[in-house]
Amino acid sequence: MAPVSLQWCAHPQLARDEALSWWLHRFAWANAISNHTLERQLFGGRAFWPRDVDRFAPVLLVDQCVSLLGLSKERMEAATLRRYEGVLYPRLTIDGWLPWIMPVGVFHRTQQHHGHAYCPHCLGEGRPMRVAGRLAFEIACIRHQCLLWDACPRCDAPVTFARVQLIMAGRFPCPACGANLAVAPRRPLVRRAFAFEHRCHAALRQGFSQVGTTRVSAVEFFAGTRILLRGLYGRRYLNGLTDTSTIRCLRWASAARPTTPFEHWRLQARLHPLAALEAYLRDWPKQFLRDARRSGVYRCRFESTAANPPWLANAMAEIEPALSHV
């Protein structure tokens, strides 16, 4: 391959935690070409924009980016969802459901789902879109202490960041309505949900988390908390853990609960269950067992195809199995 200086005029560097799709978008704009012109020059007739780039990230794309920047392959893969492989999920797949990863639902050049959260204040300051914005527990900006947004503040359309124009400093027009995505009302934090986000990032960073008096690995922590989410709320004829909780703020009206998988929920809807998880984990498993006995929840609500992590299985053993009530 020819030297980078002979091919491109500008070489924007990949920022820490920056999403690969956003960096490719910045790279194209910095060189005064469109995303699809960059796509053609890198791959010829092979298209990658009509896909979830941060999840799909073919080997050829990563190798080309390594050549452009001179960074290691591991550094480039850390800008994709592959950075969470082996922790949040055993293996990254290019389609289908993944625990804790919000889908974007790419359809041609648009997104169908609100699968990427962002901070308007960070965007206005020129900070890049973070790959962590795809995580279902990412609900607030640590830097600005405010809730994130998962859509345009004016029209509520999912934001396709690869279509956001970068031509004017400080202004990032929504591809759907033209409103400035960097200008949005500041929304107050939900402290318990924010604390759970802190707990999750600490687990990713350190490789372990403290659950009650037990230290568990990050893999067991994320697997167990995702299973817990399944039994928090009632469904059809099955009771939910929080339906009759002794902590009133954990109760949630059934009419407000989405029926889709948790990763598909809008940001405002995810706040309540994440706050409930934090409340249970703080004194695990005392409050959990109190609410389980009070609500009459069955053990089957927390069973999965894989074996439950030990810290969760030990608490499950004290809950009545459904067969004893038949």
For the stretch 306-321, pLDDT in tens is: 788 999 999 888 876 6
Output the pLDDT for position 122: 93
Mean pLDDT lowest among 48-57, 140-149, 212-221: 48-57
Give me the mean pLDDT over the 263-286 stretch: 91
pLDDT at 2: 40
Among 16-25, 111-120, 217-226, 289-298, the range with the most confident prediction by mean pLDDT is 217-226
Query: What are the Cα distances from residue 253, in Å, to 77, 161, 188, 302?
Result: 41, 34, 22, 21
pLDDT given for residue 290 in this prediction: 87
What is the average pLDDT across 3-28?
Answer: 81
Q: What are 136's two structure tokens?
A: 């279902």
Q: Which of 162, 100, 158, 87 is nearest to 134 (CA)?
A: 100
pLDDT digits (tens, 9 = 90+) for 136-163: 999 999 999 999 999 999 999 998 888 8
pLDDT at 324 over 50: no
Neighbour tally for 210: CB within 10 Å: 15
**Alpha helices (H) in the chain, listed in sequence order:** 4-7, 20-30, 35-43, 53-56, 59-69, 73-77, 120-124, 191-206, 218-230, 267-282, 286-295, 310-316
The pLDDT score that the predictor gives to residue 250 is 64
**Is the pLDDT at 60 greater than 70, yes or no?**
yes
DSSP 5-34: HHH-S--PPPPTTB-HHHHHHHHHHHTT--
| pLDDT of amino acid 238 | 53
Mean residue pLDDT of the chain comes to: 84
| Highest mean pLDDT (candidates 76-85, 165-174, 257-266) | 76-85
3-class secondary-structure state, position 149: strand
133 near 116, Cβ under 8 Å?
A: yes
144 Cβ contact partners less than 8 Å away, ≥ 6 residues apart: 119, 121, 122, 186
In this predicted structure, the answer to whether residue 100 has a pLDDT above a threshold of 90 is yes
DSSP label at 136? T
| Whole-number Cα distances in Å, 193 to 140, 142, 269 | 9, 12, 11
* Residue that is written with structure tokens 């405002």 in the block: 268
Long-range contacts of 170-175 (CB under 8 A, 24+ apart): 170/124, 172/123, 172/124, 175/110
Question: For a pLDDT cut of 70, what percent of the chain falls above it?
Answer: 87
pLDDT for the residue 236: 52
Helix 35-43 vs helix 59-69: angle between axes, to the nearest 10 degrees? 100
> CA 134, CA 150: separation in Å to the nearest integer?
10
